[in-house]
Amino acid sequence: MKARELSVREELLKGLWRENPVLVQVLGMCPSLAVTNTAPNALAMGVATFFVLVGSSFLVSSLRKVIPKPVRISTYIVIIATFVTIADLVLQAFVPGIHKELGAFISLIVVNCVILGRQEAFASRHGIRLAVADAVGMGAGFTFALFLLGATREILGNGTLFGVSLFGPNFEPWVVMILPPGGFLMLGAILLVFGAWKARAAARAKAAAVEPLRKAAA
Amino acid sequence: MSGHLLWIFLGAMVVNNFTLSYFLGLCPFFGVSGRLDTAFRLGLANIFVLVITSACAWALDRFILPYAPYLKLISFILVIASVVQFVEMAIKKLSPALFRALGIFLPLITTNCAILGLALFQTNRGYGFLEGIVFAIGAGAGLTLALVLMAGIRVEVELSDVPAAARGTAIQLLIAGILSLAFMGFAGLLGAG
């Protein structure tokens, strides 16, 4: 029982950081770049994706013994599309402003590679608890990455965060950041920082592994 | 009328390029753009699927969805998945070499945002049958253009000395950003029309 507890925790955490769907696996870029021009939009998109991911993982995992193999992908897509339709209608009812700004991109959650990928790679092969843990971790990691992108783009492109002005009237906004090229450039920059940081950590780990040997030799 | 169609075509191809300004179809854009000829072929396969999708989406929107609007997403995605399956079988039969070259990315056209995006944009904007087809061809041509441009640039990048941290996706994203900036220059075209 203890081993199982441990792995639930493991599945939860890996999506947040070590296997973050956007920052490490670079999946699901279509929605993550298109709607992350402001922090609220990014957050709404992240939460909607989170809901769809957790819902579909739960359903796929509980139906995994019933779904016939040859038509599994189509089945997953129908399940995902159902949850996306729910998310779409709920957003339309409660936050019509954001729903209008996100437009067709809410519906496009259906074709987010992250969601289908998790169903095929994880939910269809594991029990409900693990599948939901995996989905929660991945969904949270996705939301985190989206929020990071959205917040930086809004701060640089508009000088605001959640509509609150940060720098006063003298700030000249980098308009390009809230336009489409800004999405590519920002994600590129974030991945660059991430890559540099990972390379440094790897180098340090290597140095730490070599150090005792060197001491022993001396 | 023909002028109107021309603007739909140009608008979808360069001004609002699906890949570079709507971020649709990014998976193949980064995944298959390693080689020029594969990129071009995938672009053609995309145009084909887009045109069929456009016709199907129009028919669904016209005849079925008025009775069950909440089925829009599910019916679109199912039709697209079946169409792609059909195209995959046809290509496997007709050109095994092309089938091998496209590899996993052909079935992945199903989860290509561009296909579903086209169906959704087309119905949201209320395009008719002919407008939809022209829109699909324009969007497909735009995707092909972006793919081929990206593949051409990546061939050069392979030969240059990129800093270790930027290798892989980061440099590709930065290139895409610059390409996207360049395509913004076309925005004036529509204003003039």
pLDDT tens digits for range B104-117: 556 666 557 788 88
Q: What is the per-residue pLDDT for A3?
A: 44
Alpha carbon of B2: minimum distance to chain A alpha carbons (Å): 27
CB pair distance less than 8 Å for B170 and A116: no
Alpha carbon of A129: minimum distance to chain B alpha carbons (Å): 27
Interface test with A, best of B26, B109, B171 (most A CBs within 10 A): B26
Q: What is the per-residue pLDDT for B102?
A: 63
Contacts of A69 (CB under 8 A, 6+ apart): none
pLDDT tops 50 at residue A175: yes
- pLDDT (tens digit, 9 = 90+) per residue, B111-141? 577 888 888 888 888 888 999 999 999 999 9
Alpha carbon of B23: minimum distance to chain A alpha carbons (Å): 5
Mean pLDDT of A181-204: 87
Range of the domain at B159: 22-187
- Helical H segments across chain A, by residue range: 2-16, 29-34, 39-62, 72-94, 96-102, 104-107, 113-121, 128-158, 180-217
Flag whether B10 is in a domain.
no
Residue in the block written with tokens 């950041």: A177
pLDDT band, residue B193 (cuts 50/70/90) = very low
Alpha carbon of B108: minimum distance to chain A alpha carbons (Å): 9
If we measure between CA atoms, which residue out of A101, A169, A121, A147 comes closest to residue A11? A121
**Average of per-residue pLDDT values in chain A:** 85
Mean pLDDT of A150-167: 86
pLDDT band, residue B1 (cuts 50/70/90) = low
Residue in the block written with tokens 């947040």: A16
Q: Which residue has the higher pLDDT, B75 or B87?
A: B75
Total structural domains within chain B: 1
Q: What is the per-residue pLDDT for B44?
A: 81
CB pair distance less than 8 Å for B73 and A110: yes
CB pair distance less than 8 Å for A181 and B111: no
Interface test with A, best of B23, B79, B123 (most A CBs within 10 A): B23
Q: What is the per-residue pLDDT for A135?
A: 93
Mean pLDDT of A181-192: 90
Distance (Å, whole) CA A147 – CA A142: 9
Alpha carbon of B193: minimum distance to chain A alpha carbons (Å): 22
* Interchain CB contact of B185 with A (< 8 Å): no
Mean pLDDT of A3-11: 67
Q: What is the per-residue pLDDT for B106?
A: 64
pLDDT tops 70 at residue A5: no
Token pair, residue B73, equals: 């997403």
**Average of per-residue pLDDT values in chain B:** 82
Flag whether B49 is in a domain.
yes
Residues 100-139 of B with CB under 8 A from A: 110-113, 115-117, 120-121, 124
Residues 44-73 of B with CB under 8 A from A: 70, 72-73
CB pair distance less than 8 Å for A108 and B70: no
Distance (Å, whole) CA A53 – CA A135: 6
- pLDDT (tens digit, 9 = 90+) per residue, A83-136? 999 999 999 999 998 898 888 888 888 888 888 888 888 888 888 999 999 999
Chain A residues within an 8 Å CB radius of B84: none
Q: What is the per-residue pLDDT for A20?
A: 82
Q: By CA distance, what is A29's nearest residue in B?
A: B26
Q: pLDDT above 70 covers what percent of chain B?
A: 91
Flag whether B39 is in a domain.
yes
Asked if the interface predicted TM-score (ipTM) of this complex is over 0.90, the answer is no
Q: What is the DSSP letter of B14?
A: I
CB pair distance less than 8 Å for A29 and B112: no
CB pair distance less than 8 Å for A104 and B180: no
Q: What is the per-residue pLDDT for B136?
A: 93
Cα–Cα distances (Å) from A116 to A29, B66, B86, B160, in that order, read: 14, 29, 21, 36
Residue A9 one-letter amino acid: R
Alpha carbon of A88: minimum distance to chain B alpha carbons (Å): 10
- pLDDT (tens digit, 9 = 90+) per residue, B10-64? 888 888 888 888 888 887 787 777 778 878 878 887 888 888 889 888 988 888 8
Flag whether B11 is in a domain.
no
Interface test with B, best of A20, A25, A27, A29 (most B CBs within 10 A): A29
CB pair distance less than 8 Å for A81 and B23: no
Q: What is the per-residue pLDDT for B82?
A: 80
Q: What is the per-residue pLDDT for A15?
A: 78
Q: By CA distance, what is A178's nearest residue in B?
A: B21
If we measure between CA atoms, which residue out of B186, B27, B50, B119 comes closest to residue A180? B186
Q: pLDDT above 90 covers what percent of chain B?
A: 12
Stated pTM of the model: 0.84
Interface test with A, best of B80, B113, B150, B171 (most A CBs within 10 A): B113
Flag whether B177 is in a domain.
yes
Q: pLDDT above 70 covers what percent of chain A?
A: 97
